[in-house]
Structure 1
């Protein structure tokens, strides 16, 4: 019996066709493009058995796999190498006759069987040297194998140590100490409606240079369940920031903004994701890091602003990160930026005719004149 597939094919502008997995039991809930922690819910479909990209860049593959898988791979690499060289030493002892007679001069002292050969292989690679087994001058072949074994053990130790250090110093861990606010707010700044969100370094290392980027991701469904991803860049007032203290990223809702015609009521019906990222160099390691965050229309708080968290002390500026995500209400017109600009122009021109308003818009129109 054929089963109905629950994956959706997504065609992007840049590459490719990839699939987004749908969570079971949530048929009615739209699948997100990116989660709050910055992980993309994208699963690439590849031909069966196509491991080429992972084997070509094996160093990156080992860094990206989970710790338990990495420890399993490293343990197997040591054990298999001990077994392989143990078989080589046992084969040399067998050809030389060390396994049949104990009276001849052996190639390796106290290696008369596979068990002794395996222990000698492990002692050689781990440089333990218990003293019971040792290489003699009777077999040039055994001396060559020991030399190759020593070089291989140094190479394997270097690879293991390098990958472990790189994995521990992964940029993902540092990115978790730099974060965005859990929501965005819309308020007035110099009589211009602006969308803003916060960025802060919770560790307090004072990142001195970084770049902020933001773009809007929309979904356009097509036939056969395919989805086209549309990306629109957002112009930011301060894309380059000095993160010595928490900063507020501002996007003005001007005619060039994709949010220019969206009001608080329109956001309830819109379906998009605001993907923001902060790229910077770590001051301790010099490595390039990136922190990502995703906001949906439900995360946009219209008519609110972030509470002040920076205060001046006697010797230092004090930052209260307990208020990092806290907001408070402010007086903001409950209409889109396009309608707000149109009413401002009418007010500046001195027109006595007021546009037809309903509901709360009457109140905010009066607030507009009062400001």
Structure 2
């Protein structure tokens, strides 16, 4: 049941429906996934120069199984390479037939012995069975180069592993947005809001929220045009010690000002929201992001209160993080709601005395 007055237009929430995407709309590709990933594929995969120029970032971004493969191959290949060098030195010097005072590398009589000596040298195992003599300067130089290279490999591998373990993506998984956004009245103004929360005990130092409305249109020639519109957010800078409610007022200038609940069924846009923040434990910069489609907008609802004040602490019930309740909300766009709320200006400054008396005469019989 819909009730209209000159001051306020509200709806009976018992007849409110939640809009969902149909089968046709469900097949549309999202600009950004709910977990913050972008479904973008680069077809120009033959050019590997951008990845090789920034090899450290490339290794940090690869999967763990690939990282372990690179980790193992970096050592095994270096052992094989220097093992070949030691084997060639021993072969050229004739260590198999020379006396002990002319041998370059003790107890290296083949490639297997040279490989073991290379591994013992680089891993600093030092079993004491094989060793380097002072007769061959070339062998001494190769051992020195291998020792320096092994320190370099250890530094790079350890740095990459630590960077992957402290990746910003891991911390971003503990900061989350609500599964949907709601439209409700706040101080007589229609507002679009969503929830942001930190699920860890070591909270965030500071952070900034942003929101963009993204539309993409497929042109007849086959190319796609993507437009970006920034949404004004109240209180963009947040200390996320407790869950925060991010609010965007549907006022003139907002891209959603002229959209009502029925218009959302025909709209094709994504609301991309992000939270860039500094972690309290590490001091590193992180970012959490997600996106909402028109089917994720719940008109006429608000989030349940999940914060209570105790004697010594603030109590937060994260079980209510995505819970909402129905509230009376205008079943129309913010533009139409504002237009109906404006007072109607009379055509004349005041009513004439005869007209006022005529109204009383006409109404009085009905009142009786």
- Structure 1-normalised TM-score? 0.85
Summarize deviations over 1:256-284 as a string: whole Å, max 9, x none: 00000000000011010000000011111
Provide closer, same or farther for how the CA distance between residues 158 and 328 of structure 1 changes in structure 2, counting only shifts above 3 A.
same
Q: Is 1:346 equivalent to 2:343 in the alignment?
A: yes
Q: Which residue of 2 aligns with 1:291?
A: 288
Aligned match for 1:268, one of 247, 256, 265? 265
Which residue, out of 159, 168, 172, partners 2:169? Answer: 172
CA separation in 1, counterparts of 2:210 and 2:337? 26
Give the whole-Å Cα distance in 2 for the aligned partners of 1:208 and 1:147: 47
**C-alpha deviations, 1:1-58, integer Å up to 9, x for none?**
xxxxxxxxxxxxxxxxxxxxxxxx9997111111100000111221x53100000000
Residue 44 of structure 1 corresponds to 42
- For residues 26 and 254 of structure 2, the distance between their equivalents in structure 1, rounded to whole angstroms, comes to 30
Say whether the 8 Å CA contact 2:95–2:109 is kept in structure 1: yes
SS of the equivalent of 1:290 reads strand
Shift of 1:104: 6.0
* 1:159 paired to 2:156: yes
Equivalent-residue separation in structure 1 for 2:66 and 2:88 (angstroms): 33
Report the equivalent of 2:332.
Answer: 335
Question: Corresponding residue for 2:138?
Answer: 141
Shift of 1:208: 3.0
How far the C-alpha of 1:204 sits from its partner, in A, is: 2.7
For 1:170 and 1:237, how far apart are their aligned partners in 2? 30
Please tell me whether residue 130 in structure 1 is matched to residue 107 in structure 2: no
Q: Give the 5 Å matches for 1:177-188.
A: 177-188=174-185
| Consecutive aligned runs of 4 or more in structure 1 exceeding 6 Å deviation | 25-28
2:33 is matched with which residue?
A: 35
In 2, Cα distance between equivalents of 1:49 and 1:182: 38
2:65 pairs with one of 64, 68, 71: 68
Unmatched segments (≥5 aa) in structure 1 = 1-24, 352-371
Cα deviation digits, residues 120-179 of structure 1 (max 9, x gap): 000000011111001111111111111111000011111111110111000000000001
Give the corresponding residue for 2:254: 257
Contact 1:86 1:121 (8 Å CA) reproduced: yes
Partner of 2:5: none
Deviation per CA, 1:283-318, whole angstroms, max 9, x where unpaired? 111111000010000000000000000001111010
Question: Residue deviations 1:229-253, cap 9 Å, x none?
Answer: 1110000011111111101000000
Alignment of 1:292-331 (within 5 A): 292-331=289-328
Name the CA distance, whole Å, in 1 between partners of 2:99 and 2:267: 85
- 8 Å CA contact retained: 1:307, 1:326: yes
Query: How far did residue 209 of structure 1 move?
Result: 1.1
**Which one scores higher on RCO, CA 8 angstroms, separation ≥ 6?**
2
CA deviation after TM superposition for structure 1 residue 99, in Å: 3.4
Q: 1:314 to 1:297 in 2, by over 3 A?
A: same
Structure having the higher Rg: 2
Distance 1:260 1:160 in 2: 53
Please give the per-residue CA displacement for 1:190-223, whole angstroms capped at 9, x wherever unaligned: 1000000000001132213100000000011102
Gaps of 5+ in 2: 1-22, 348-368
The answer (yes or no) to whether the contact 1:98–1:104 under 8 Å persists in 2 is no
Q: Assess if the C-alpha contact under 8 Å between 2:196 and 2:244 holds in 1.
A: yes
Q: CA deviation at 1:103?
A: 6.0
RMSD of aligned residue pairs (Cα, Å): 1.7
Match of 2:244 among 242, 247, 256: 247
Aligned pair count reads 325
What residue in structure 1 maps to residue 10 of structure 2? Answer: none
Query: 2:241 aligned with 1:232, yes or no?
Result: no
Rounded to whole Å, the distance in 1 between the matches of 2:279 and 2:309 is 27
